[in-house]
Structure 1
Amino acid sequence: MITRRCFTQLSAALLPTLGGAPAAWAQAGKDAMPDMARIISGFPAGGTADALARRVGDRMRGHYAASLVVDNKPGAGGQIGILNLRDSPADGTSLLITPSSMLSIYPYTYPKLRYTLDDVAPVSLGAMFDHGLAVGPGVPDSVRTLADLLDWMRANPGSANYGSPGAGSMPHMVGVLLGQFSKIDMRHIAYRGTVPGMQDLLGGQIPAFWGPIGDYLQHGKGGKLRVLAIAGSKRSPFLPQVPTLTELGYPLKVSEWYGFFLPGKATPETIKRASDALQAALSQPEVVEYGKQYGLEVKPSTAAQLAQMLKADADQWRGLIKQTGFTAES
C-alpha cells in the first residue's frame, strides 16, 4: 500500500505547542533588522503557497525586517524558486516557501536537477495540506463521482487528460498511479503552478486537475467545479463530503506540506532568528484561521523538526519512486 503515515506520525511527535512564540517574536525583534527581506515562491501569485506567504510576511514585517515582500518566481514546477534562493545571499534576507515535492520527490524524478538538498536550510514547517482531483465544464455534468470520470475517460480516450501544478510533483505522481490502478492511459499536462491550471480547468480546456484542495474551495462552493476524490489518509475537514481514494478502492494515501527555507550557506544564528520569527508569525490565531480558507492546517516547527521531516519524507519517496518507476516525464 502506498502510504504517507510519516506525515501524521511526525506531526504528532515533532510539533509541540509553541507556548514561547511571543517571546521568540520579541527576541527576533531585538536583533538588528534589515531594511528589506523577501519570501520567494516558485509559483504564481494567487495560489495557496502565495496566500500563506503573504499573510505570514505581513506578521513578520517590523519584527524580522522593516519591509518584507513576496517574490514570485514561477517556472519549472517550482525549481526556479529554489534556484533563486540558492543563489541569494545567506544573510537571512531571502527566504523560500515551497511544497515538499520539490525537495522530497524531484531529486529522484529529475536526472539533471540543478540543485541538491544541501542548497537549502530548513527553517520552519508552514502548513499541511491535501491534494484533490477536480473536474470542470470539460466533462459532462453527469460526471459526479470518480467512477463516472474513469468511465468517461475510457469512453473518450482522446480526452483522458489531467493537469497538475508541475511535472514530477506529488499531484502528478498521484495521477500516474491512479492511471495505473484503473488501467487508463491518462495523459499529464504540467502547469506553472495551480493558478494557470485552474484557469484551464474552469475554462473547459482540460477535463480534470490534481492539486491542493485549497485552490478548489471557493470555486467548488460556487458550483464551477466538482471535487471527486482526495488523496489524504482521511477525509478533509475542509471537504468532508469528498471521499478518499482509499475509500474508493485505490491504495493511495498522500499528503504534502509547505516549508520555509534559507540558502544552504546560512549560519545557525541566521537560521534560528528566521525560525523564531516564523514560528511566532505562524502561531498567531489569525494566521491559523486564515489558513483554513485555503485548506491549510497551519503548523510551525523548529528548524531541526523540519529537517527531520524532510529527511523521512525524502527517504520514503526515494523507495516508492524506485518501486513504481515514476519519472517527471511519466
Structure 2
Amino acid sequence: MKRLTVAMGMLLAGFTAASAQPFPNRPITIVVPFAAGGPIDTTTRIVAEKMKDTLGQPIVIENVGGAAGSLAAGRVAKAAPDGYTLITGIWGTHVANGAIYQLSYDVKDDFTPVGLISSNPLLIVSSKQLPANSLQDLVSWLKQNPDKASQGTSGVGSVGHVAGAFFHTKTGTKFRFIPYRGLAPAMQDLVAGNVDLMFDTPATSLPHVKSGNIRAYAVTSPQRIKAAPDIPTVDEAGLAGFYISTWTALFAPKGTDKDIVSVLNKAVMIALADPAVQKRLAEVGQEPYPVEQQTTEYLARFQADEIEKWWPIIKGAGIKTD
C-alpha cells in the first residue's frame, strides 16, 4: 500500500510539473486559409519565421484552402483553446464571410484576437482603353455611361467585388461585375481590355502598372504605400474615406487563456518591429500596423468596427452565395 501511495504521489507530481510548463513547450501550428505561395501565405511565413525565435519553438504553417477560407476558419474555431493552433485571419475570413456564407461558427465570437499584422489596401486600376486619366475623370465617365463599364473580380463576395459595390454607393455610379476564378485571369482580361476596372491588391496590379499595361488611380487607404509611393490615396484623388483593406491578423480559438494570448501577441509585436521583417512585408505590398494598433484589445475593437461597416454594404448589395 505504501509503495502504491508513493507511486501515485510521484505520478501526480510529474503531471503537475508537466502541466505547469511555460507556454509554449511544443510546436505551434498557424493555419493559413489559402493555398501556399499567395500573399496571405507569404505574409504569414515572414512573420512566423521571426516569431519562432521569440517563442523558442517551431511554427508549422498549414495551408487549408476552400470556401473562401471558411473551411480553415471552421477548423480552428473548433480546435483546443491552448494556443497551439492559430489562424491567419483576413478581412474576408473574419468579416465578409459572416455576411455572405451560412457558417457553422461565428466569425467574431468563436475566436480570440491575438494581434493585427498588416494592412493590404487595394489599388483602383483600369484598362488603358478607358478614357479617364484621374479618379475624378473615372467617376465622371462612369456617371455619363451607366452600366457600360465592367469590373473584373476574383469571385462573388471577394474583396474586389465588395469594393465595387462600395464604389457604387460612394459615387452613385453603376457598372457590371464579371467574376473570374482568381485574380490572375481577371488581370489578364484587364490588360487585354476585355474588362474596364478592377479593385485589386498591389501584389497583382503593380507589375502591370509599372510596365504601363494598366492605369492606377488611387490606393484605398489614408496613406500612400511604400511599394508605390507615387500613387495617390483616395483622399488625395478626390474620393475621401473610400478605405478598404485586406488586412491580416492572428486569431486563436475562443477561450484561449489571456496569458497565452499575451505571449503570442508579444511575439507578433517583436516580429513586426524587426526592420528585416518590415522590408520583406513591404516588398509584397503589406503595411505593418503602428505599434499602438498591434494589441489584442485593438484587434477586437477593429474587427467589430469592420463588421459594423461592411455587413450592411454587403447585404445591401445583395452579395451572397447559395
TM range (shorter): 0.7 to 0.9
Query: Are the structure 2 counterparts of residues 64 and 185 from structure 1 closer, same or farther at C-alpha, using a change threshold of 3 Å?
Result: same
Look up the SS of the partner of 2:121 in the other structure: strand
- Where in structure 1 are there 5+ consecutive unaligned residues? 1-28
> How much does 1:247 deviate?
4.9
Query: Are the structure 2 counterparts of residues 240 and 66 from structure 1 closer, same or farther at C-alpha, using a change threshold of 3 Å?
Result: closer
1:309 partnered with 2:302: yes
**Conserved? CA contact 1:135–1:201, under 8 Å:** yes
Deviations 1:87-119 (A, max 9, x none): 333322222112234323433x22623321122
How many residues align structurally? 294
CA distance in 2, matches of 1:47, 1:148: 30
CA distance in 2, matches of 1:309, 1:152: 33
Deviations 1:225-250 (A, max 9, x none): 43233322354454343344455554
Determine the structure 1 residue equivalent to 2:59. Answer: 68
Deviations 1:100-151 (A, max 9, x none): 34323433x2262332112211001101232112345xx6386654545984
Determine the structure 1 residue equivalent to 2:70. Answer: 79
Q: Which has the larger radius of gyration?
A: 2
Look up the SS of the partner of 1:274 in the other structure: helix
Query: Are the structure 2 counterparts of residues 111 and 292 from structure 1 closer, same or farther at C-alpha, using a change threshold of 3 Å?
Result: closer
Query: Are the structure 2 counterparts of residues 77 and 285 from structure 1 closer, same or farther at C-alpha, using a change threshold of 3 Å?
Result: same
Q: Please, what TM-score do these two structures have when normalized by structure 2?
A: 0.74
Q: Please, what TM-score do these two structures have when normalized by structure 1?
A: 0.73
Query: Are the structure 2 counterparts of residues 55 and 237 from structure 1 closer, same or farther at C-alpha, using a change threshold of 3 Å?
Result: closer
**Conserved? CA contact 1:106–1:169, under 8 Å:** no
Determine the structure 1 residue equivalent to 2:85. Answer: 94
* Paired AA for residue 298 in structure 2: Q
Q: Following superposition of structure 1 onto structure 2, how do residues 1-330 of structure 1 map, counting pairs within 5 Å?
A: 31-35=23-27, 37-64=28-55, 66-107=57-98, 109-110=99-100, 112-116=102-106, 117-135=108-126, 140=129, 144-146=133-135, 147=137, 151=141, 160-164=150-154, 167-180=156-169, 181-189=171-179, 191=181, 194=183, 197-198=186-187, 201=190, 206-250=195-239, 252-256=241-245, 257-299=247-289, 301-318=294-311, 320-321=312-313, 325-329=316-320
Look up the SS of the partner of 2:75 in the other structure: helix
* Paired AA for residue 150 in structure 2: A
CA distance in 2, matches of 1:252, 1:191: 29
**Conserved? CA contact 1:153–1:160, under 8 Å:** no
**Conserved? CA contact 1:54–1:69, under 8 Å:** no
Q: Percent identity?
A: 22
Query: Are the structure 2 counterparts of residues 162 and 195 from structure 1 closer, same or farther at C-alpha, using a change threshold of 3 Å?
Result: closer
Query: Are the structure 2 counterparts of residues 188 and 315 from structure 1 closer, same or farther at C-alpha, using a change threshold of 3 Å?
Result: same
Query: Are the structure 2 counterparts of residues 220 and 162 from structure 1 closer, same or farther at C-alpha, using a change threshold of 3 Å?
Result: same
**Conserved? CA contact 1:135–1:208, under 8 Å:** yes
CA distance in 1, matches of 2:80, 2:250: 16
> How much does 1:305 deviate?
2.3
